[in-house]
Structure 1
Amino acid sequence: MLPFAPDAPDFAADPYPAYAELRAEGRALWFEPTRQWLVPHHADVSALLRDRRLGRTYLHRYTHEEFGRTPPAPEHEPFHTLNDNGLLDLEAPRHTRIRRLVSKAFTPRTVQRLQPYVEELAGELVARIVAEGGGDLVTELAEPLPVAVIAQMLGIPEGDRALLRPWSADICGMYELNPDEETARKAVTASVEFSAYLRELIAERRKEPGEDLISGLIAAYDEGERLSEQEMISTCVLLLNAGHEATVNTTGNGWLALFRNPEQMELMGRISGDTGAGPEKLSTAVDELLRYDTPLHLFERWVLEDIEVGDVRIPKGSEVALLFGSANRDPAVFRDPDRLDLTRRENPHVSLGAGIHYCLGAPLARIELAASFGQLLRQAPALRLAGEPQRKDGFVIRGLASLPVEV
C-alpha cells in the first residue's frame, strides 16, 4: 500500500514524509484509488511537464471514446466549457494561438504598471492589521490583495469585487481529486454566474474601451486572428483563479513556515529592511517559500502516446499525477531539501509549472508576494502567531483557511 492518502487531513497537513517514501518506492507508482500514475521525482516531473507526448487535454487528438474515457456528465457542461477554453487546459495549436494573443495584452509593461498599486494596497492592508493589533493574515491580507489586483487589472468595478473570491473558490473545488457531486454543483453555478458577469463586462468594454486588460484582450490581434468571447471569458477566469490561489496560499504557507523557523524569520526581516540589498534577495526568499511549501501539490497530465518513466511503461490513455510538492523536496536536486533556506541560490522549483504551461502570471505573483511580505516585515517586525492555524480542506490546492497573528 503506497503512503499516499490525499483525502486524509493528517496527510494533507504534512505530506512531506510520505513523499520521501514515495521517492524511495520508485519513479512511477500506480495509485488505484484515483487510477493515476504518481510521479514523485523532480527530474521526471520537470521532464514530463515539457514532454509533448502528454497533454492537459486529449480532445485535440482524440474523442473521449477513442481515448477510452467517459465524457463528462451533461449537467457539468458549464464548468467544462469555461475550463476547457482556458490556456491551462489547452494544447497546441490552439494553446499557441491563444497564449500569443493574450501575451499581446498581458505584457511585462502591464504588470510593471500595477506595481505601485500593489505596494500601496499591501501597505494599506498591513496598516489596518497593525492598527488592530493583529488579525487573520489569510482573510485580511493574503486573500484581498491578489483578488483586488487582478480585479484592478481586468477593470472590474470595486462594488463587484466581493463576488470574485466565492466564484473562484467554488470553481477551484473541481481541481481536487475525485470531487463529489455537491462540489460539482457549486462549480457549475459559479461558472454560469461568472461567465454571465464577464459577458456583460466584455460587451461594455466593446462599446467603451479602457486601459484595462479586458479592453486589451478585445483589441488583441495577430495574423488575422482575435480571441473569441468564450476564450476571453475563460482567460479572465483563469487569471483570477490561478493568479490568486497561488498567491493566497503561498502567503499563508510562507508565513507559517517563517513562524516555525525563527532564524529564517529574522533573516527575512533583515533582507526586507536592507535598502541596499535590492529586489534580488527578496525575490530569492520568495522563491524559497514557493519551493518549501508549494501551493499546488499535484498537476495532472494525460498520456497521449506510450511513454516510459524509468523501467515503467505507461500506456496511452493513462493519467499521470505529477507531485510538485515531492519534486520540490527531492534531495537529488535540492541540498538539505527539508530545510527552509531563504538564501538558496540554486532553486529550480516547479511550483509555477514549466514548458508551455508555465504560469503566465508568475511576474505578477512575485510582485504581490514581495509587496505583502515586505510591508508586513517593515510595519510589523514583531509579528507572531496568536493561535493555531487552520488548514483548508483539500490537498491539490493546499493552503490555510486562517492564520491568526498579533503585532
Structure 2
Amino acid sequence: MNAMDFDPWNPAFVADPYPAYVQLREEGRVHWYEPSRQWLVPHYADVSALLRDRRLGRTYLHRFGHEEFGRTAPPPEHEPFHTLNGNGLLDLEAPDHTRIRRLVSKAFTPRTVERLVPTVERIAAGLVDDLLADGGGDLLTTVAEPLPVAVIAEMLGIPPADRGLLRPWSAAICGMFELNPDEETARRAVRASREFSAYLREVIAERRKHPGDDLITALIAAHEEGDRLSEQEMISTCVLLLNAGHEATVNTTAGGWWTLFRHPDQLELLRAAPQMLPTAIEELLRFDTPLQMFERWVLDDIEVDGTTVPRGSEIALLFGSANRDPVRFPDPDRLDLARADNPHISFGAGIHYCLGAPLARIELTASFSALIRRAPTLRPVREPEWASGYVIRGLKELLVEV
C-alpha cells in the first residue's frame, strides 16, 4: 500500500479517510505502518475479534515492565497524565479492570442513567431554544458540546459555576490520544491532568463530609466484600466519564448533522418520521465514526491472515474502516437511516465496551429530537472544516441558520 493514502496527519485524509480504507481492505487484513510504528487492521471481522482477544491489552504493565516489553518508559515529567490515565477503566486490564468496572457499575447503573432522561431532554431543549433565539450559530459550541458536559457535570454534582473548566481540561487530556503527540500537547495534558485531579480531590473530600445525590457520592459508597475504589481510581473514573462521555457525543452530533445536510433525502425522511430516530442514530454512528482508531498492545504473538504480529507490537484497530466493511454492511457507503441490521463497533466490544453507551444514546436522541422538532428548516451556512485530530475525529465548527 502507498503510505500516502493512509495519512492521519494530512487534513485531506482526515476530512475523508474512507477511500483510503477501501484500498486498505482490498490490499489485505493487516498492514505495517512505519510512521506510527503500528499494525493497521481494517476489516470488521478482525477488528471485532481482536477487541475480544485477551492476547491484546490496553496496557502491558500488568504483565511486563517497559524494558522487558521492548518499550521506553514515558518521561518522568509526564507522570501526572499517566497516573490519571493509567488508573481509569479504559487503560486497565484484568484483574484491576474487572474490579473497578464492577464497583463503578454499582454506582453507574442503568436505573441511574434512565433517571437522567428528563434532565437530558430539558437541557437539550434549552440549548436548542437558545440557538433558535439567535437565528442560528455554531451547532458545535451551542448544542453539541454543552449538552454532554452539562449532563456529566450534573451527574457528578459539579457546581454550575465550575463547569466551564471541564471541557478545556478534557480537550487538553484527549490530545494525548492522537498519534505521536508532540511535547507541547504533552505539556498541556500534564497541566490539565494535575489541575483536574486537584479539583476532583477537593470535590471528593467535600462529598465525604456532605454526601449528595450524585455519582461521586455513589462512587465513594460503592463497595463489595470490603473492597472500595481508591481516591485515585475515583478521580480517574470521573475524568474518563467526562472525556469518553462527551467526545463521542459531541462529534456524532455535529458530524451527524453535517452527514444529514449532505443527504437531504434522508434528512427529509427523518423529519417526516422522527420515530426512526433510534435506528437513525445507530446509522450516523456507523457512517461517520467519532473514534476512528482504537489501539491495543500485543501481549503474546498473534497471527492475522498468515502474518505474525509479535509481542511488543501495537495494533491499530480501524473502527472507521470496519464500520464501512462491505462484507458486514451491504452498500456501506450509502447512508440508510432505516438500516436495521447494524452491529457497528463505534462503542467498542469486549471488556472495554463503552460503559457510557446508554447515556450517549440518550443524549443523542434528546438533541437530534429537539432540533428536528424545533428547527425544521435548520440548514448549514457553509461547508465546515475538520479539526486536526484523526483518532478522535470531529468538525472545528458547524455554522447553521434556522
Interval of TM-score (by shorter of Structure 1 and Structure 2) = over 0.9
- Aligned AA (1:337): P
- Residue 388 of structure 1 and its aligned partner are, at CA, apart by 2.5
- Residue 178 of structure 1 and its aligned partner are, at CA, apart by 0.1
Contact in 1 for aligned 2:9/2:388 (Cα 8 Å): no
Give the Cα separation in 1 of the matches to 2:23 and 2:12. Answer: 16
Aligned pairs for 1:22-171 (under 5 A) are 22-171=24-173
Give the Cα separation in 2 of the matches to 1:44 and 1:379. Answer: 42
**Matching of residue 394 in structure 1 with residue 396 in structure 2:** no
**Matching of residue 300 in structure 1 with residue 295 in structure 2:** yes
Match of 2:223 among 205, 221, 224: 221
**Matching of residue 271 in structure 1 with residue 273 in structure 2:** yes
Partner of 2:207: 205
Deviations 1:73-96 (A, max 9, x none): 100000000000000000000000
Give the Cα separation in 2 of the matches to 1:284 and 1:261. Answer: 16
Match of 1:235 among 228, 234, 237: 237
- Residue 239 of structure 1 and its aligned partner are, at CA, apart by 0.2
Give the Cα separation in 2 of the matches to 1:271 and 1:130. Answer: 22
Give the Cα separation in 2 of the matches to 1:267 and 1:116. Answer: 26
Partner of 2:261: 259
- Aligned AA (2:33): F
Give the Cα separation in 2 of the matches to 1:49 and 1:335. Answer: 22
Partner of 2:306: 311
- Residue 389 of structure 1 and its aligned partner are, at CA, apart by 1.1
SS in 2 for 1:353: coil
Give the Cα separation in 2 of the matches to 1:104 and 1:121. Answer: 26
- Residue 270 of structure 1 and its aligned partner are, at CA, apart by 2.1
Contact in 1 for aligned 2:384/2:395 (Cα 8 Å): yes
More moved, 383-392 vs 323-332: 383-392
- Residue 148 of structure 1 and its aligned partner are, at CA, apart by 0.2
**Matching of residue 332 in structure 1 with residue 334 in structure 2:** no
Give the Cα separation in 2 of the matches to 1:114 and 1:130. Answer: 24
- Aligned AA (1:135): G
Gaps of 5+ in 2: none
Give the Cα separation in 2 of the matches to 1:106 and 1:373. Answer: 24
Partner of 1:345: 340
Contact in 1 for aligned 2:386/2:396 (Cα 8 Å): yes
**Matching of residue 359 in structure 1 with residue 354 in structure 2:** yes
**TM-score, structure 1 normalization:** 0.98
Give the Cα separation in 2 of the matches to 1:75 and 1:271. Answer: 54
Give the Cα separation in 2 of the matches to 1:319 and 1:270. Answer: 46
Identity of aligned residues (%): 73
Gaps of 5+ in 1: none
Contact in 1 for aligned 2:145/2:250 (Cα 8 Å): yes
- Residue 222 of structure 1 and its aligned partner are, at CA, apart by 0.6
SS in 2 for 1:321: strand
Deviations 1:183-218 (A, max 9, x none): 000000000000000000000000010110000000
**TM-score, structure 2 normalization:** 0.99
Give the Cα separation in 2 of the matches to 1:291 and 1:172. Answer: 22
Give the Cα separation in 2 of the matches to 1:283 and 1:4. Answer: 32
Contact in 1 for aligned 2:302/2:309 (Cα 8 Å): yes
SS in 1 for 2:283: helix
- Residue 267 of structure 1 and its aligned partner are, at CA, apart by 1.3
Root mean square deviation of aligned Cα: 0.6
Give the Cα separation in 1 of the matches to 2:337 and 2:270. Answer: 7
Give the Cα separation in 2 of the matches to 1:112 and 1:79. Answer: 32
Give the Cα separation in 2 of the matches to 1:381 and 1:131. Answer: 14
- Residue 390 of structure 1 and its aligned partner are, at CA, apart by 2.3
More moved, 128-137 vs 173-182: 128-137
Give the Cα separation in 1 of the matches to 2:306 and 2:351. Answer: 27
Partner of 1:284: 279
